[in-house]
Amino acid sequence: MQFPYDTSYRDSHALLRYSPGRIAYALLVLALLAAPWLLPKYYVGEISYLFIMCVASLGLMVLVGYTGQVSLGHSAFLAIGAYAHSWMLSQGVPFALAIVLAAGITGLIGLVIGLPAIRVSGLYLAMVTLAFAILSEHVIGHWSSVTGGFNGLTVQKPVFLGLDLSSLHAFYYLCLAVLAAVLLGLVNLLRAKTGRAFMGVRDSEAAAYSLGIWVSGYKVLAFVISAAVTGLAGALLAHHVRFLTPEGFGLILSLELVLMVTIGGLGSLRGAILGAVLISMLPTFISRIKPLLPEQISKQFGLEIFVFGLVLALFVLFEPKGLNGRWIKFKAFLQTFPLYRKDMFKRGKTYMKSERYK
């Protein structure tokens, strides 16, 4: 049963359905294209990082938001993509081929992890992916012949067709182009049979199985796609940081990715981007307001983690559908004003959410 606020299907499958939407997205694209020439260099670099985190968030959203599989280990896929890409560059592999192979290798490892992971769900699946992240960080730290170990690995400059893409503006447009390609690719994937199967598995595995959907196969496919997209983000992240260390891909990064998709709004590509923007900007915001806080608070260890937890708790309590749900309500308010009624967004009863095929 569909309610006025429940537009997750249309959100992912009709990105440019209405003329106002086309105009808004066109203005957004123009603003993003002009931003490097209008903003200070610091903000251009920060926005490039936002683009990378948006790609990673979209990858995790495929797994968590569209198939309902919880993962606390996606920092490992970021690390694998970054190190695989950097190692291939050091071996003389061209940039374009290296970034594609890095995504492919990460997707293959996602397949290896996804096959045993489909036997568990919920908290147990979260523990499996968490263990994978810890193991990956350990392997990266001790495989010094490939990763440089704890001494780190220097990332070579990205060069494509003789063009150096390491400059601030060139790298900004590279990240923007990759984000646009991933977003359009996922929009088309999720509007097809595969996307509908993903959502069927998420809503009710028992119902999906009764309809002839290969539940296990689509779960593994979601792992592969999610890992490949996240590995692609890792390859870009390698060029952003320019020096890789195992500590840069710890559990905190995995938790940040989970916060992005949860706060953005599960089951929404727009939500993945909104969540990535908010969570990626929080550390900068906290560092800016620290001097304004009392000394007893500003010098407390773990202030950022506390703020992340507080934001998550507030969204879970007051806006379970995340930033995307809030955006949908705001848009409905503008469209129906002055006839807007708050109870038009009252949640109805949901059936078969807790069922699982065994």
Residue 102 CA to residue 228 CA, distance in Å, equals: 8
Of 140, 139, 132, whose CA–CA distance to 116 is shortest?
132
Q: Say what the pLDDT of residue 28 is.
A: 84
Residue 50 CA to residue 256 CA, distance in Å, equals: 13
Query: Prior bond to 338 cis, omega within 30?
Result: yes
Q: Say what the pLDDT of residue 16 is.
A: 54
Residue 223 CA to residue 105 CA, distance in Å, equals: 13
User: b/e string for 75-104 if b means 16 or more Cβ within 10 A?
Assistant: bbbbbbbbbbbbbbbeeebebeebbbbbbb
Residue 97 CA to residue 307 CA, distance in Å, equals: 40
116 three-state secondary structure: helix
Q: Say what the pLDDT of residue 346 is.
A: 57
User: How many C-beta neighbours within 10 Å does residue 246 have?
Assistant: 22
* Residue 244: half-sphere exposure toward Cβ, Cα within 13 Å: 30
Q: Say what the pLDDT of residue 120 is.
A: 77
Residues 165-220 pLDDT 10s: 888 889 999 999 999 999 999 999 988 898 899 998 888 888 888 888 888 889 99
Q: Say what the pLDDT of residue 352 is.
A: 46
Residue 50 carries which side chain, given as an amino acid letter? Answer: L
Q: Say what the pLDDT of residue 172 is.
A: 92
pLDDT tens-digit profile, the chain (358 residues): 333 444 444 444 555 555 566 787 788 889 888 888 888 888 898 899 999 999 999 999 999 989 888 888 889 999 999 999 999 998 889 999 999 999 999 999 999 988 887 787 778 888 888 888 889 888 898 888 888 888 888 888 888 887 888 888 899 999 999 999 999 999 999 888 988 999 988 888 888 888 888 888 899 999 999 999 999 999 999 999 989 888 888 888 888 898 899 888 888 898 889 989 888 888 877 777 777 777 777 676 767 777 777 888 888 788 778 888 888 887 777 777 666 565 555 555 444 444 444 4
Residue 301 CA to residue 311 CA, distance in Å, equals: 18
Paired residues of 243 in beta bridges: 154
Residue 231 CA to residue 62 CA, distance in Å, equals: 14
Residue for token digits 């007051």? 318
Residue 162 carries which side chain, given as an amino acid letter? Answer: G
Residue 313 carries which side chain, given as an amino acid letter? Answer: A
Contact 297, 74 (CB under 8 A): no
pTM (two decimals): 0.85
Sign of CA dihedral 18, 20, 22, 25: negative
